Structure 1
Amino acid sequence: MRISGFASGLDIDAMVKELMKAQRAPLDKLSQQRTVVEWQQEQYRDINIKMVDFRNNKLFSYGMSDQISAKQVNVTGNTNAVSAAAVSGATTGSMTIEVTKLASAASLTSGPGTGPVDTNLSLSALKAAGAVNYDSADQSITINGNKITFDENTDTLASLVKKINSNSGANVNAFLDSTTGKMSITSKTTGAASTVAVSGDVLGRFNLTVSKAGADAEVKINGIETTRSSNTFTENGVAITLNAVSGGAATTLNVTGNTDKTLETIKSFIADYNSLLDTVNGKLNEQRYLKYQPLTDEQRTGMSDDEIKLWESKAKSGLLYNDSTLSQAISSMRLSSITDVVIDGKNVNLTSLGITTGDYTSRGKLVIQDENKLRAAIEADPDKVMKFFAQQTKETDSVKKASPTNPDNGLFNRLSNNIMAALDGMYQKAGTSKLSTDANAAFSPTSLLGSQLRDIDTRMSNLTDRLTDIENNYYKQFTAMETAMNRYNAQASSLFGASQ
């Protein structure tokens, strides 16, 4: 805190501030450079997030066989006995199912009931009334080897049944009818191997004496008699559910390609691919306004919020104009999409599927030029269409394997490799994450831009120290002037007093 200007009557602080303006210009310029680098990192991260999402989420999902090679099951014949749905790896063709016997679960059921019972009374109260009986020293019940404990003062029959049903090891469903006092305990799994073994006095009064063993389902699949432990099972990629005994009337399951779903998957892929291209091309071709630099704190004080927002939108524009990393990514993506894929010794390309890259104004976007042609290709050979997009190369050489023109690699895998290369490039240049879609993820300090920021910070720190020395020197000079003027004034006063 300085007090100056008493002798001269000058505003020393204002004068020093004006003198320092020119001295601070290099520091302001460094601060602006730092802001530009930070903006570049943020813009790289925005693109990085979209690329990671496209590669790790969208491409991965589209590459699943139940998406790009979707199947459907048509059920005919005895539709009441069997229901079915295609799952991953479903094989085109048909099979017949005839149900002789449904699978059932082992169970224990009450013989004569105890009569009405209040399931909301505590077990100790029920014991006192003679509705249940157990040794208070052992407040537990064991089902299928799993011990389930209870508290006679806080637990009721209702809460005990809930504990039984929620015990995963016991693997049973218990039901108590409060009107008749009858109980049943049934295994959650079906088949001959299912069991229900109960020990413990607390349920003794419910007379769990009616025992029923579990049984396997008996079916005939394509004329072959076989058994299954459950009424739900999978065969040849078809999830089959047995609902009733066939009674001699077989059910036919016919697995065919789901053209509509495959077409929908391809359309969704194209939309996401084009959206990514739009984002990257938008940054590559964004106009740069060199006259608009980041605002200094002093410049901001004289502007409104709207003026600041408009200015910064211009200052942020074009920071990734013609960026080499992004340009290479776009080039590789376009090359991947126009290069043939070799499937069973034959070349297949997008054009043969009715898809093109559009004219030059679309900047490489994919366009379904002939949807009928694409639909016909899917219906004629769905496996070929699936392989064009999702086929994986057997190439072992890492460079050839990742090439955008690898003829054995499907389009999805080519694009995945392209984007991984772009993510590597952005990581090295801007320090962005190759896996995260977090908009607040930290940047790696070892990147090129990270190194630039460290260099700028060092220069700013050194320059700030130098400016502090210059400012202090100005004040010293003005203080010396004030001191000299004080002496002069003192001498003048002395001489004037002597002359009087």
Structure 2
Amino acid sequence: MNVMGLYSGIDMSMVEQIMEAERARGARFTQQKEKYTKSQNAWRDMNTRLDSLYKRLEDLQQPDTFNSKSVKMTGPSNVGVTATSSAATGHYRVQVQQLATQTRLVGGKVNIPEDGDIRTALGLTKGEITLKIGEDKTETIEIDETDSLRSISDKINNSTANSGIRSSIVDNRLILTHTEYGEKTLVVGGSLANDLRFDGVTAVIGQVSKFTIDGLSITRYSNTIDDVIEGLTFNLTNVHNENDSTVISVTENLDKAAEALQKFVDQYNSTQSFIRSQLSVGDPSAENNQTGMLTGDGTLMRLQSSLRSMMTSSKSHGTSINGLQGLGVTIDRNGTASFDRTVLDKQVRNNPDEVSRFFSSSERIIETIEDDEVNLVTNTRTERKGFSQDMRTFVNQYISSSNGIIKSRRDTFDRMIRDVNDRITRFEERLEMRRNRYIRQFTALDTAMMRAESQMNFMFSQLGMNQNN
């Protein structure tokens, strides 16, 4: 390489030009790899969109999507209400007359040793306190000189499961509270009752809650009541004035149903729009026509057609609903879906259970199997049906991570890309070998020319010497 080009004029720059021309022949491999990669990415994007569609279909399978209830309150906010799908629609007038409370006993301030705190031993003589709950229950708490106010409170709490009494400490006072609401008596006795400042202290007796619903008087041992009206839970928070009340209105939650169906329609349109872009042939007459990466792909065209067919099907799925169009979803000639909420609202308002069954229902299947041709074995399984289940089953054929169609396509492209990479590697190796061969050949040419020139110079020099002689 030191003499290359000195005589022949063929230097490294000319070799690189030759190699550039040779390398251009391998551009088809790079282009092929780029096409495979873009196609693989297109299927990856397709999988993402179908997965989102699958999840939107799952929302439509939930029973409370079409059976959920909304609660509206008019008047003082002295009561909170939550409703489940089983609640009946209607209006209820509620008046809270009394909140349920717990029996509570506050002891006097206990003398803590100087420079101590609630964890400092009180130095009491060994003894006990007794908690008398009601007429027939007594709990004894053993105490010794090593106990602090904190440890005594802990001992009371350790027996809560049996006594029903909880203890807390506020300003060096033991405060005892019954875990249950209502009229529960509580008296503290025992040899150390006075030392812990329970002498002369009486409990504030708890009470039950009292309220009316549409004038009907109700009493409960709690402020949270879920056994008065099916599907409704009342949380009493304050007492009404004598002439005040709160009106509770329970209605169908039309927003939840409409939102779920609208999101599904939007995702369907997004999926179909992406498919159209990938199958597009563009404008063949244009000079720089741009086509989709999956133009002419039969698998994608079948997916496009099948999705549209399922959306336009009039299958009722065991209900009186005539396909999605019976719920306000229609498909135009371009394959784009539109949603008229008023149609769905009417259906949900009149028969939410039927709308729910259209999208998803369960059926028990009993199968009888012969065992050894003698005994019969009965097997029971549950089968999901409905529009959502049918479309999810179809979509899963494409997006399944184990044996889905898209996984198979992507695996195929992986193999094709690896094959192209191997070809590129072998091509580059051949180019490098050819480059080295050119260098050797042109270097040899220059070396030969240099030797020839040297020999000619020597010959001419010898001829000149002879003439002089």
Cα distance, 1:448 vs. partner?
0.6
Please give the alpha-carbon distance, in whole angstroms, between the structure 1 residues aligned to 2:210 and 2:357.
38
Q: Runs of 5+ in structure 1 lacking a partner? A: 115-125, 149-170, 197-203, 293-310, 398-407, 431-446
1:425 partnered with 2:422 = no
Is 1:231 paired with 2:201? no
Q: 1:458 aligns with which of 422, 425, 435?
A: 422
Q: Secondary structure at the match of 1:342?
A: coil
- 1:491: how far off? 0.6
Q: Deviation of residue 417 (structure 1)?
A: 2.3
Q: How does 1:396-435 map to 2 (within 5 A)?
A: 409-423=385-399, 424-430=404-410
TM alignment of 1:457-496, pairs within 5 A = 457-496=421-460
Query: Shift of the alpha carbon at 1:336?
Result: 1.8
Partner of 1:388: 358
Post-superposition offset of 1:488:
0.5
Number of aligned positions between the proteins: 401
The one-letter amino acid of 1:71's match is K
Counterpart residue identity of residue 80, structure 2: S
Q: Does residue 327 of structure 2 align to residue 327 of structure 1?
A: no
1:75-474 maps to which residues of 2 (within 5 A)?
Answer: 82-92=79-89, 102-104=99-101, 109-112=106-109, 128-130=114-116, 132=118, 134-135=120-121, 141=151, 176=170, 184=175, 231=224, 233=226, 236-244=230-238, 255-285=250-280, 287=282, 317-342=291-316, 346-358=320-332, 360-361=333-334, 363=335, 365-368=336-339, 371-392=341-362, 409-423=385-399, 424-430=404-410, 447-474=411-438
Q: Give the residue type in structure 2 aligned to 1:428.
A: S
Bigger mean CA offset, 233-242 vs 27-36: 233-242
Q: Which structure would you say has the larger Rg?
A: 2
Return the letter of the residue paired with 1:384.
E
Cα separation, 1, equivalents of 2:311 and 2:107? 68
What is the correspondence of 1:28-43 to structure 2 with a 5 Å cutoff? 28-43=27-42
Identity of aligned residues (%): 22
Q: 1:160 — aligned with what?
A: none
SS of residue in 1 equivalent to 2:120: coil
User: Normalization by structure 2: what TM-score?
Assistant: 0.67
1:79, CA displacement in angstroms?
6.7
Q: Matched residue of 2:9: which SS?
A: coil
- Offset of residue 356 of structure 1: 1.7
**Aligned partners of 1:427, 1:413: CA distance in 2, in Å?**
21
Structure 1 or 2: larger strand share?
2
Q: Distance in 2 between matches of 1:417 and 1:342?
A: 17
Residues 488 and 228 of structure 1, relative CA distance in 2, 3 Å threshold: farther
* Coordinate RMSD, CA, aligned: 4.8
Give the CA deviation at 1:473.
1.5
Letter in 1 for 2:407: Y
Unaligned segments of structure 2, at least 5 residues: 123-145, 159-164, 187-193, 368-383
Q: 1:454 to 1:480 in 2, by over 3 A?
A: same
Q: Quick one: which of 43, 46, 59 aligns to 1:61?
A: 59
The answer on whether the counterparts of 1:391 and 1:410 sit within 8 Å (CA) in structure 2 is: yes
